[in-house]
């Protein structure tokens, strides 16, 4: 199972915001901390805002923060919302499926069960379970910010 970069960035964004609840955070800051494209991150933040997970304030002094408590953000739900589809194999998409053995193949059912199990595990977690590691995460994020800023200065 592989998640899209979009879902990866969405999880990183909410984790970053969950570790910094005391202030507004800019897209640029998160982009620098993770060394990821600002352009992609803007799209992720727009989606998280539409989902009601993030509140964004534009303009000078603006930024974003979580609009829900970390305990209210279910990881399985967030992944389902940020993944465009879960077509792990071609036959999952009835419109584009060209596999000639699809009607007789039993593999599709096994893969669907595995996918359901994957999501069921993620459903067991909320963001607060990961934000609890804030003391370990913040030094890593701060070091990454410094490192990425130094690289840009060179």
| Nearest in space to 32 (alpha carbons), one of 134, 143, 140, 149 | 149
Q: Would you tell me which CATH number, out of the four given (3.40.1410.10, 3.40.50.1370, 1.10.10.10, 3.30.70.260), belongs to the domain 5-153?
A: 1.10.10.10
Q: How do residues 38-95 score in pLDDT, each as one tens digit?
A: 999 999 999 999 999 999 998 888 999 999 999 999 999 999 999 988 777 877 878 8
What pLDDT was estimated at residue 103?
83
Q: How do residues 89-120 score in pLDDT, each as one tens digit?
A: 877 878 888 888 888 888 888 988 999 999 99
Give the β-pairing of 63-66 and 54-57: antiparallel
Tabulate helix, strand, coil % of the chain (nearest 5): 60, 5, 35
């Amino acid at each position: 199972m592989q998640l899209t970069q979009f879902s990866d960035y969405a999880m990183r964004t909410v984790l970053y915001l969950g570790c910094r609840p005391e202030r507004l955070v800019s897209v640029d800051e998160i982009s620098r901390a993770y060394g990821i494209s600002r352009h992609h991150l803007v799209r992720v933040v727009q989606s998280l805002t539409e989902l009601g997970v993030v509140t964004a304030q534009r303009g000078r002094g603006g930024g974003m923060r979580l609009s829900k408590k970390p305990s209210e953000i279910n990881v399985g739900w967030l992944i389902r919302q940020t993944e465009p589809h879960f077509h792990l194999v071609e036959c999952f998409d009835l419109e584009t499926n060209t596999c000639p053995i699809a009607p007789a193949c039993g593999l599709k059912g096994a893969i669907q069960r595995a996918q359901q199990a994957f999501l069921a595990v993620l459903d067991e977690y909320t963001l607060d379970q990961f934000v609890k590691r804030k003391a370990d995460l913040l030094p890593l994020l701060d070091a990454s910010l410094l490192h990425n800023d130094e690289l840009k200065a060179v």
